């Protein structure tokens, strides 16, 4: 999964704290994506250095809040609009993008699903065309392997289109898929406020919550 882009998208509804955003990666993808909490915090730190997110104060109990900058919002919108993260698998990007978009309050997932469907239909058409055309440059086992590889590409594209058609129905007519951000707190963590620090006196300090 494009962890950075998914975290940025999760901030579209408004500011959030690290542990909340970390949990959102799993819940907004229907549990298919489990990311180490340290990776989530490190990604938030890098996004802050890249000026994609910025500090937005703290919760009443001292958890640092993050919010999107204008540049960060543009990056989140670009990802939701179909711009895959560098090196990411297109199928994983599609599934994560659709699930996260459908879960975000205030985001219309229907055009996102439609755009993904169009892209995968184009990939399917290209794969089937390549499969029918064959390959005159190879023979024997090499040619058979090329054919199998192209058949695999076509099969994945066909499966993607089928899944997206079902997603379109769920988004358009099913129950609301929007998720309200969880208010769960980390069991231990650092609080910037003195009052919160006193409350956490027995807890061992760790990475930013």
CA 76/CA 53 separation, integer angstroms: 11
pLDDT confidence band for 202 (50 / 70 / 90): very low
Task: Provide DSSP, the chain.
Answer: --HHHHHHHHTTTS-EEHHHHHHHHHHTTTT-----HHHHHHHHHHHHHTTSEEEEEE-TT-PEEEEE-HHHHHHHHHHHTT-PPTT--HHHHHHHHHHHHHHSTT---HHHHHHHHHHHHHHHHHHHHHHHH--TT--HHHHHHHHHHHHHHHHHHHHHHHHHHHHHHHHHHSS----PPP----SS-B-SSHHHHHHTTTSPP-SB-
What per-residue confidence (pLDDT) applies to 174?
A: 64
What per-residue confidence (pLDDT) applies to 184?
A: 83
What per-residue confidence (pLDDT) applies to 15?
A: 96
pLDDT tens readout for residues 39-52: 999 999 999 999 99
pLDDT tens readout for residues 115-145: 999 999 999 999 999 888 766 666 688 888 8
Counting residues of the chain whose pLDDT is more than 70, the rounded percentage is: 85
Report pTM.
0.81
């Amino acid at each position: 999964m494009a962890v950075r882009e998914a975290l940025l998208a999760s901030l579209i509804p408004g500011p959030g704290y690290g542990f909340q955003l970390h949990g959102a990666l799993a819940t907004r993808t229907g549990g298919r994506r489990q990311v180490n909490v340290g990776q989530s915090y490190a990604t938030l730190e890098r996004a802050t250095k890249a000026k994609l997110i910025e500090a937005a104060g703290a919760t009443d109990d001292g958890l640092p809040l993050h919010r999107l900058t204008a540049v960060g919002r543009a990056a989140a919108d670009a990802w939701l609009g179909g711009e895959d993260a560098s090196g990411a698998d297109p199928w994983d990007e599609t599934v994560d993008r659709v699930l996260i978009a459908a879960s975000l309050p205030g985001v219309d997932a229907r055009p996102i699903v439609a755009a993904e469907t169009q892209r995968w239909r184009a990939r399917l058409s290209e794969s089937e065309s390549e499969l029918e055309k064959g390959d005159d440059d190879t023979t024997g086992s090499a040619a058979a392997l090329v054919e199998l590889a192209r058949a695999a590409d076509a099969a994945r594209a066909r499966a993607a289109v089928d899944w997206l058609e079902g997603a379109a129905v769920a988004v358009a007519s099913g129950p609301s898929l929007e998720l309200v951000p969880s208010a769960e707190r980390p069991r231990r963590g650092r609080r910037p406020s003195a009052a919160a620090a006193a409350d956490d006196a027995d807890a061992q300090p760790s990475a930013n919550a």
